[in-house]
A and B are shown apart, each in its own frame.
Chain A
Amino acid sequence: MTDRISKEDVAHVADLARLTLTDEELEAFTGQLADVLDHAADLAALDLDDVEPMTHPLPIHNVLRPDVVGETSDRAEVLACAPSVEDEQFRVPPVLGESP
């Protein structure tokens, strides 16, 4: 199975998840995550090749909605929640790089 989660792994996923960790946190979290994943390692022993994954608890499909315009949000109410607004838009610091 997979190796125990390392500090590098934790630093990497923290980065992917847009979180900064202090050195102490990195140390502590690595140990804690490794414990949880060790627990999950008991799944590794199971032979599940012939088992289908369950992605939905309910046996329903084709839930569709008619293509009819409904209510839109009140812009003022929506923008009132925003940390920073300019020209009726959400203002953010510049993005480095293009969309992935």
Chain B
Amino acid sequence: MSDDATTEIVPGWETIIGLEVHAELATATKLFSDAPNRFGGEPNTYVDPVSLGLPGSLPVLNEQAVELAIRVGLSLHCRVQRSVFARKNYFYPDMPKDFQISQYDLPINEEGWMELADGRRVGIERAHLEEDTGKSTHVGGGGRIHEAGHSLVDYNRAGVPLIEIVGAPDLRSAEDARAYVSELRSILVAIGASDGKMEEGSMRVDCNVSVRPVGDAVLGTRCEIKNINSLRSLGRAIVYESRRQVDLITSGERVEQQTRHWNEDEGRTHKLRSKEEAYDYRYFPEPDLVPVDPSEEWIESVRAALPVLPRERRHRLAEAAGVDTATASLTVERGMDDLAVDAIGAGADPARVLVHVENNLADGAGALTATSFAALVAMEVGGDLTATQAKTVLATLVTDGGDPAAVATDLGFEAMDDGALESVVDDLIAAHPEDWVAFTSGDDKERKKKSGFFVGMVMKATNGQADGRAVNEILARRAEA
């Protein structure tokens, strides 16, 4: 079975998935101090007493982080509400205070939803603010934690604002999970909240997986999987974990509620700790911070300033093109839906527009405008350009801009008139009599092969200007004659 199975991972079993995504917010400063929120600086240069947790230091909340959190909440159709910060207490060297300021009972955003590219809605339980930790690097041994001689800690990242988005367990496959992450990422990027780069760590995904026999109503025991660093790993981890859990159950054992670590090289998960060992974080409301209660005015102003979101783009293009949202999604993903909608609005054939985006605009639209796109498609549909020629003209419009008719003329793409084309075909028939006989009297397979032969010869003779369809039409007429 392939890792990308979209059908049941194990036949007869349903996989339930809920994702927790942490995204770094694109602010200038940290969540609770005005030290810079920047990547890649010299170690311990983006720090101050607050981000080092020095005795006597106090947190002060970043207004822009709240603004972005509200944007995220509204984009995910959450209720934006009065919220309180809480301390999550645990010891770890990358934690300057040995507690993390997060949100627990009263998060800023709750109870929302997100629509995937295929139109299905999934639940968003909450999206709250919390501070990031510093980074430790292990030195000595194999560079992995258990073999390290010692660790070095850099607190540049400590205090960077994070938004933690907790999704409902509404996903059912590895593909669902990847679609969820992609959609979430494109929303975060569209609203300017985060740059969403999983491989760089500005977006991190933890995955909760459980299984149950198809048809069962009760949820199985779930395991949380950490250390997933790419969409591909996400899929692989879900598949592995589903199989692992099914194997346990079918061999008579129970799935233990655990946190597990995904090992990319080994392609498997390892137990980190069990529920019994689950850490007691001793959450309590952060006494150094006061509640955040965004006013209706503030929330509405954020709402009014939201850009058009991917979901809206899909719906808009779907409507304009007369297709379903799933079909529209690729164009939206490529960021070319505005272009497509405008081109269609200028009269272009929607199907051709979408096909071109899919096949010929993978690297972007460049200098192509909606007007020239529409004109190009009109020429193609009207028979002035073959598909091949249209592709070439399009490429030029992308790199250099301009008007399709002018570009076509410059490239020497005149439409061949029918008469000229027929003589070319006749000449070739005459020059290849055996092949012609094979074409006219052969079986389907032979006919197809020979048609390809003749079309190819015509293309060669006309420097690619012939329209393949027209050639086949002529061959068919000649064959009947």
Contact = CB atoms under 8 A, between A and B. Distances in A.
Given A64-B61, A64-B66, A78-B44, A58 B29 contact: no
B145 A95 contact: yes
Given A18-B91, A95-B93, A73 B29 contact: no
Contacts of A39: none
Contacts of A37: none
Interface string A4-41: 00000000000010100000000000000000000000
Interface residues of B, number: 62
Contacts of B203: none
Contact of B90 (A87, A91, A100): A100
Given A67-B62, A94-B149, A72 B287 contact: no
A66 B34 CA distance: 9
Contacts of B46: 72
Interface string A74-100: 010011000000111111111111111
Contacts of B226: 98
* Chain B facing A: main interface SS: loop
Interface residues of A, number: 37
A84 to B, nearest CB: 9
Contact of B152 (A61, A68, A91, A97): A91
Interface stretch (B35-43, B163-171, B244-252): B35-43
Contacts of A2: none
Interface string A44-86: 0000000000011010111111111111110100110000001
B285 A63 contact: no
A70 B48 contact: yes
B468 to A, nearest CB: 59
B94 A99 contact: yes
B154 A89 contact: yes
Interface stretch (B290-298, B302-310, B349-357, B419-427): B290-298
A65 B62 CA distance: 5
B28 A68 contact: yes
B102 to A, nearest CB: 13
Interface of B: 27-29, 33-36, 42-49, 52, 60-66, 82, 84, 90-95, 133, 136-139, 145-146, 148-155, 226, 261, 272-273, 279-282, 285, 287, 289-294
